Amino acid sequence: MWLEILLASLLGFVIYWFVSRDKEETLPLEDGWWGPGARPTGGEDESIRPFKVETSDEEINDLHQRIEKVRLTSPLEDSRFHYGFNSNYLKKILSYWRNEFNWKKQVEVLNRYPHFKTKIEGLDIHFIHVKPPQLPAGRTPKPLLMVHGWPGSFFEFYKIIPFLTDPKNHGLSDEHIFEVICPSIPGYGYSEASSKKGLNSVVTARIFYKLMLRLGFQEFYVQGGDWGSLICTNMAQLVPSHVKGLHVNMALILRNFYPLTLFLGRHFRGLFGYTERDMELLYPLKEKMFYSIMRESGYLHIQSTKPDTVGCALNDSPVGLAAYILEKFSTWTNSEFRDLEDGGLERKFSLDDLLTNIMIYWTTGTITSSQRFYKENMGQGFMAEKHYRMKVHVPTAFAAFPCELIHAPEKWVKFKYPKLISYSYMARGGHFAAFEEPELLARDICKFVGLVERQ
């Protein structure tokens, strides 16, 4: 009898092992219609149309009048950025915005790269498509889709693009030359917002996949941080045969047992595969994880539940919009910047660059629709969707920037992405990697692509 029990147990273990192995599942591709009303009976216009960012004196005058009528509350003494955006420093930004910032000049900067729009699933999707200025004879550029997050935009990639499309003239090897496609997430900036509920990261991944097919790319690389990392991950789960490689600088990987090891990791580092660098970035646990999450996640709860309410205020006030967004560019770049009177904003960014990103939200009136993306992705429960439980089976790279909101050790990342072939501890940088450290990120992308191409 004991032999039978032992054999049955062994058989059960073998069955469990086979069933629980990494199953190369894919998400169903499906289809959708997100424009107003019912889907038209005729086929969708698949033309790709040139687009230019434009402005007017009327738009600028309205902005100036709203800034002039600002009503601020004085900050508490010695509060710095601990209570949110410090209104004393905000006055400096508003003075610059009203009197020195040249939106017409920044519109020219935005139009430096070619913009386009095309209809996909009922929405006008905006993107920039930047090809190499010159190619060595016989070379073909590698298509690379780069996806932004919130509260960023396609503009985050403007400084990394030259390193990727023209590497030799920017201090990098020209072994890998890319043509870069940067779309705007639906409801962000110049991409049309959905008229219907349910447009989440998986839908966005499908729309961007259709965009790449429409541009003539059957295989391509994808890169993203923040929502971009999730959208690119979903694309790899939808169409793995089309994604040559996935590069991310943020990963949502809480649906496994590894985070539970944090409580024992300090005493059993080797057992859980933590390196010395992991220990520096994860501990002390209270400060690096729990207090940090509590401090920085209030916006997430608001936007995942009732985004339209706060959206009414932000869409009506450029000052409120700037404070709400720029606060993220302070503490998400480096949490220690909350100890500074100016939030450290100008240590990594210029006011022109920061205000250009704000103006993309302001002039398009898309702050509310951008915030709805949280509701669509988290409104059914935190990480409740199937894709959060699925693994990703395409070659993957992870760039671990030291000031990212939550550090993800290599063991954690490999659980979600079994084909992880590159994991890099980046020398510096935070959440807005391409915006903060374009050369560092470009070098890591090139390193990863080299590994994929040699496989």
Tokens of residue 249, six digits: 């600088």
- Within 10 Å of residue 201's Cβ, how many Cβ atoms? 24
**Running DSSP on this structure, what letter comes out for residue 290?**
I
Beta strand 48-51 with 220-224 is unpaired
Q: Cα(254)–Cα(84) distance, rounded to whole angstroms?
A: 27
Tell me the residue type at 198.
G
The 3-state DSSP class for residue 374 equals helix
Give φ, ψ of 239 to 5 degrees. Answer: -135, 65
Helix (H, G, I), strand (E, B) or coil at 437: coil
Q: Which amino acid is at 288?
A: K
CA dist 358 and 356 (Å) reads: 5
Exposure string over 153-165, b if 16+ CB within 10 A, otherwise e = bbbbbbbbbbbbb
Question: In Å, how far are 118, 128, 162 from 46, measured between CA atoms?
Answer: 6, 17, 29
CA distance 251 to 83: 28
What is the secondary structure of 136-191 as a DSSP string?
-TT--PEEEEEE--TT--GGGGTTTHHHHHSGGGGTS-SSS-EEEEEEPPTTSTTS
Q: Helix, strand, or coil here: 25? A: coil
State the Cα–Cα distance between residues 270 and 182, nearest whole angstrom. 40
| Active-site residue set | 226, 374, 431
